Amino acid sequence: MIEKIREWVSKNNERLISTYCHLHENAEISWKEHETTKYLCEQLKLLNIPYETFSDHTGVIGYWGDAKEGPTIALRADMDALWQKVGDEWKANHSCGHDAHMTMVLNSIICLKEIGFTPKGLVKIIFQPAEESGNGAKAIITKGVMDEVQYLIGTHLRPIQELPFGVASPSIYHGATTLLKGKIKGLQAHGSRPNFGINVVDSLGAIIQAVNSIKIDPTKSASAKVTVVKAGGDNINIIPDYAEFGIDIRAQENEVMRILVEQVKYAAITAGSINKAKVEIETLASMVAAEPSLEIESIMRATIEKALGEDGLAEPPITPGGEDFHFYKASYPNLQATMIGIGAGLSPGLHHPEMTFDKLALQNGVKIFSLAITTLLKQESSNYVR
Ligand SMILES: [Zn+2]
Ligand SMILES: [Zn+2]
């Protein structure tokens, strides 16, 4: 099978590039991936693969095969670009490589179709909107798309500092992220009579100190820091009565994040109200950390070795960045889910307006995804439990 896949990939590089260029040139931001959705629907139609779209948001799910004949697996590619200044122009820009992820997933299906593979089971092809805004995976989960799925495979290009071109890793250990937003209410007074007021800037100072003094298990990787402070008006001679602050919290493990968020909230509310100011905190955004799925990781290890050779297998990078892919496993704890890291010589970095990578890496992604599908959906029906 891998020989057939290799042959198809080497003959079809132009097609990979043309899919990629189309998606790259038509970049759209989170929840606005309308043209991208339309294009992917057209492609699935050409392949005779039934698909589902949603009336209330972008994204498309293709359904290839029959769940009665074997396991149900899912491939997931994110679709959205970032809104950023590129040169002198503000525009939607695929600087996170989601255009490459869609290209790899779509073309692995085209490859398998053209070499005559028929899945013994069902492949759900998930083109997920809004990864960057952190709520696309949750929308797909709400629609029940992940019900019955046993194996889920996603992918992300890795920066050159994490993986060199030509290799791939069986998973990516993203960390957890929580963003807190706080408001402080005090009391205005004349600058000459501070005793009549409640100065929210004093609260901010106390909150920064309190957050910086939190101690967590030193063997665990985590950080919490105040990253936004806003207070006061144009008059320096007024005791200000309103402030806002933001706290960015990172942890490599979900349990450490839970403890840290609890401590940060307690510290900020207690320290900020020491002068009787009122402090309120809300969670603006949160992403869970990757939880390892050992079975699918070991299947993907073998798949990468087969697809790229022994030298093509890299150890999973551990990265403090966040990724909403990990909500799938958080919602379905028995799901075997993993994200393949693709080494692509990517520089200067993800989200950089001038991000660039070696397009030959697309071929590696197609080889790995195609081979993974043939491996997972050729099992005898007695080998799985529905
Ligand atoms: Zn991103
Ligand atoms: Zn991304």
pLDDT reported for residue 382? 43
- What's the CA-to-centroid distance between 96 and ligand 1, angstroms? 5
The end-to-end CA distance of the chain, in Å, is: 27
Supply the CATH number for residue 358's domain: 3.40.630.10
Do 142 and 19 sit in the same domain of this protein? yes
Q: Determine the Cα–Cα distance for residues 292 and 169; give it in Å rounded to an integer.
A: 13
13, pLDDT greater than 60: yes
Do 20 and 128 sit in the same domain of this protein? yes
Q: Which residues pair with 184 in a beta bridge?
A: 243, 279
- What's the CA-to-centroid distance between 113 and ligand 2, angstroms? 27
Q: Determine the Cα–Cα distance for residues 252 and 174; give it in Å rounded to an integer.
A: 7
Which whole number is the average pLDDT over 204-216?
Answer: 97
User: Please, which pLDDT band fits residue 77 given cuts at 50, 70 and 90?
Assistant: very high
265-277 residue pLDDT tens:
999 999 999 999 9
Q: Which residues contact 355 (CB under 8 A, 6 or more apart)?
A: 95, 96, 97, 346, 347, 348, 349
Do 9 and 140 sit in the same domain of this protein? yes
Do 22 and 143 sit in the same domain of this protein? yes
126-169 residue pLDDT tens:
999 999 988 999 999 999 999 999 999 999 999 999 999 999 99
Do 315 and 240 sit in the same domain of this protein? no
- What's the CA-to-centroid distance between 150 and ligand 2, angstroms? 23
- What's the CA-to-centroid distance between 246 and ligand 1, angstroms? 21
Q: Which residues pair with 243 in a beta bridge?
A: 184, 231
- What's the CA-to-centroid distance between 184 and ligand 2, angstroms? 34
Do 241 and 296 sit in the same domain of this protein? no
User: Please, which pLDDT band fits residue 378 given cuts at 50, 70 and 90?
Assistant: confident
Mean pLDDT of the chain: 96
- What's the CA-to-centroid distance between 74 and ligand 2, angstroms? 18
Supply the CATH number for residue 234's domain: 3.30.70.360
Which whole number is the average pLDDT over 85-101?
Answer: 97
Do 364 and 216 sit in the same domain of this protein? no
Do 90 and 17 sit in the same domain of this protein? yes
Residue 304 has φ and ψ, to the nearest 5°, of -65, -45
Any idea which ligand is nearest the CA of 78? 2
Any idea which ligand is nearest the CA of 350? 1
313-367 residue pLDDT tens:
999 999 988 899 999 999 999 999 999 999 999 999 999 999 999 999 999 999 9
Query: What proportion of the chain, given as a percentage, has pLDDT over 90?
Result: 95
- What's the CA-to-centroid distance between 303 and ligand 2, angstroms? 23
Do 159 and 220 sit in the same domain of this protein? no
Write out the residue range of the structural domain in which residue 230 sits: 176-287
Strand runs (DSSP E) across the chain, as ranges? 51-53, 60-65, 72-78, 82-86, 89-93, 122-128, 151-159, 168-169, 173-174, 176-185, 189-190, 222-231, 238-239, 242-251, 278-287, 318-319, 336-346
- What's the CA-to-centroid distance between 148 and ligand 1, angstroms? 28
Q: Determine the Cα–Cα distance for residues 80 and 60; give it in Å rounded to an integer.
A: 13
User: Please, which pLDDT band fits residue 379 given cuts at 50, 70 and 90?
Assistant: low
- What's the CA-to-centroid distance between 17 and ligand 1, angstroms? 21
pLDDT reported for residue 347? 98
Report every protein residue that has its C-beta within 5 angstroms of ion ligand 2: 96
- Asked if 163 and 340 count as a contact pair (C-beta separation under 8 A), the reply is no
Give the end of a domain, one of 287, 305, 340: 287
- What's the CA-to-centroid distance between 340 and ligand 1, angstroms? 15
Which whole number is the average pLDDT over 268-290?
Answer: 96
Report every protein residue that has its C-beta within 5 angstroms of ion ligand 1: 96
Do 64 and 139 sit in the same domain of this protein? yes
Do 239 and 322 sit in the same domain of this protein? no
Do 308 and 360 sit in the same domain of this protein? yes
Give the end of a domain, one of 287, 316, 343: 287
Give the end of a domain, one of 256, 287, 318: 287
- What's the CA-to-centroid distance between 247 and ligand 2, angstroms? 22
Task: Quote the number of domains for the chain.
Answer: 2
